[in-house]
Amino acid sequence: MELYGVRIPTIVTDNIAVRCCGCGEVIEGRPWRVNILDSIAPEAPVSWTESAGINPGPFEFHADPSHVLDWMARRGFLFCRLSEVREIMRPFWLPIEPPRLGLCDGLHREDHEFVNPAVIAPERS
Ligand SMILES: [Zn+2]
Ligand SMILES: [Zn+2]
């Protein structure tokens, strides 16, 4: 392989292959990185530091929103259907029992409409 014009003679392709967090397949080319913003929503009942083990990422995916939505669904996250899957998602703790994390791009003014991402994955692919 060649990186920035420097030949790297070791064969490490298998080890560095990036796999999609959504479908688990190797990503050819540029992965789509998604970060979860480390911020606390005003309505959050649980503070970010108290919340157990939210990994802010980046998570890497195929360039297809449905793969990101699949991943959210498996992690038990909800997705705001007024938002788009973007490189930076904002976390919102939802005041339900048990608390669930909803992800939104935060770019709309309406109230969030958090839904099960598996429901809207087919229409976003
Ligand atoms: Zn994928
Ligand atoms: Zn929203």
pLDDT at 13 over 80: no
Q: Are the CB atoms for 77 and 111 separated by under 8 Å?
A: no
Q: Render pLDDT for 20-68 as a digit per residue (tens, 0 to 9).
A: 999 999 999 889 999 998 755 455 555 544 555 578 889 999 999 999 9
- 84, with CB counted inside 10 A (0-12, 13-18, 19+), is middle
**106 C-alpha to center of ligand 2: Å?**
5
Name the pTM for this structure: 0.75
Q: Identify the residue with better confidence: 120 or 2.
A: 120
Give me the number of domains the chain comprises: 1
Q: Render pLDDT for 86-99 as a digit per residue (tens, 0 to 9).
A: 999 999 888 888 88
**9 C-alpha to center of ligand 2: Å?**
47
Indicate the average pLDDT of the chain: 82
Q: Which ligand is nearest to the CA of 115?
A: 2
Q: 22: domain range?
A: 2-124
